[in-house]
Amino acid sequence: MSGHILILFVSVLVAVSAVLSALGFKGRVEVIGVDLGTTYSVAAVSEKGRVRVFEDPVRGKLTASTVAFLQDGGVLVGNAAKRHALKDPKNVIYDAKRFIGRKYDDPTVAEQAKKYAFAVVENTTTHDAAFRVHGRTIAPAEVGAEVVKALLKTVNEDLGHENVKRAVIAVPASFGAAQTAATGEAFKAAGLRVARVMPEPVAAAVAYGLHKKENVHHILVFDFGGGTLDVSILYVQKGSIEVVANGGDNDLGGTDFDGCIADDLTKQVNAVASSTDCDDFVTTEPCEPHVLQQLAEEMKVQVSSVDTVQRKCAARTKKGCEELELTLTKQRFEKTCAHLFQRALKTVDDTLTNGMLTKKDVDEVVLVGGTSRVPHMRELLRKSIGVSKLNLEIDPDVTVAVGAASILD
């Protein structure tokens, strides 16, 4: 009799599991991997040995690390916040990762603050760098917390439960204790406990399984994101990975290429326009600096896959208010921004030198960050290092999150 009961119980359990699976139940995942990036943020999960990146129905896999603080106390996160910046740039914060965990009197804070429309101020209690929005002082960790909350909301909706309470997080190899702690505070404020902290380059190498690959000793991780360039040299031994050299350029990222293109677009506008005071067109934005910056970002992405990109903005010329057609070719992009490409290559050379290594010591190269997908940058790097191929099969925007989630296996 007991045998029949056991068989019946197992049959019922299998049937229930099948029903739950059909309903989309994915199990009680409690830990996720998160990359809280300078420009974009990503969350991923490991399910039965396979890593999956969470995808929001609206934002997609990437959530812009941009937060708009509204007058009524509400917030907008992601692309909605970026759109809000067009009409209220002083109360929309982005690139908060550049300031997190830094004291206000840090020389880099004053230098970075010059780049933004929002106000960078001192938290009079902690003396840390902070932001002023609608008369309130907002810490960089609070900005990060809003981004993590948005990611967690997508995670909960995807999994069908709210059991996720911990996260494996990745931070730049250059982060000190204060910056890492402040990043942890952002997750805590969003309702997640930090289960483990990984250096971002290590997470990237783990994503490709290079720590398990034979005859691999030195890995160069080229992390070219929206706000910074980080170059790390990893040493692999018996499955463990150690960061042996780290370099970077905190003032070089995708936004700098956007700025380079925006400067070129500005020259095109100034060549024929006397003023950007032009609101005759309903659907065409005026050629204001913030509009050109946004157009530059869009054109940079598109010119990676086509030879010529064109956009329009409105300005006042001798003929009156007109729609101007702005053009960017692949060749013009590579020539105009050549100095930025060379700065990136010099950072690689300097990092190898500081680690007392040569390019011949590099066994594998891993690409991370959205700017690393620029074809010209990839080819320049490949030729400079002298490798036959680069590790680029994983979307460079999600590689770090994939690695953070992979460690959960």
Q: Are 34 and 404 in contact (CB under 8 A)?
A: yes
Left (φ > 0), alpha (ψ -120 to 50) or beta: where does 321 sit? beta
Joined together, the tokens standing for residue 358 give 């040569």
Alpha helices in 228-365 (DSSP H): 254-270, 289-302, 330-336, 338-354
CA–CA distance, 230 with 227 (Å, rounded to integer):
10
The CA distance from 147 to 94, in Å, is 10
According to DSSP, the β-strands at 31-36 and 40-47 are: antiparallel
Nearest by Cα to 225 from 9, 33, 355, 41:
41
Distance CA 1, CA 12 (A): 17
Strand partners, 325: 312
Contact 201, 235 (CB under 8 A): no
Q: Say whether 223 is catalytic.
A: yes
Beginning with the edge strand found earlier in the chain, give each strand of the sheet holding 92-93 in spatial order. Answer: 75-77, 67-69, 92-93
How many angstroms separate the CA atoms of 197 and 167, rounded? 9
- Please give the backbone phi and psi of residue 133, each rounded to the nearest 5 degrees, phi first: -130, 125
Distance CA 241, CA 25 (A): 35
97 is catalytic: yes
Q: Which residue among 95, 97, 249, 285 is the active-site one?
A: 97
> Of 226, 280, 217, which is closest to residue 257 (Cα–Cα)?
226
Q: Is 35 a catalytic residue?
A: yes
Q: Residue 210 has which token pair?
A: 């290079």
The answer to whether the CB of 248 falls within 8 A of the CB of 220 is: no
Cβ neighbours of 260 (radius 10 Å): 17
Question: Which residue is catalytic, options 128, 146, 200, 397?
Answer: 200
Instruction: Count Cβ atoms below 10 Å from residue 198 Cβ, excluding itself.
Output: 21
Amino acid residing at 209: G
Annotated active-site residue in 128, 142, 223, 264:
223
Active site residue 263: no
**Nearest to residue 99, comparing CAs of 131, 70, 124?**
131
Handedness of CA 168, 171, 177, 179 (dihedral sign): negative
Closest CA to 234 of 408, 388, 365: 365
- Residues labelled as active-site residues: 35, 97, 200, 223
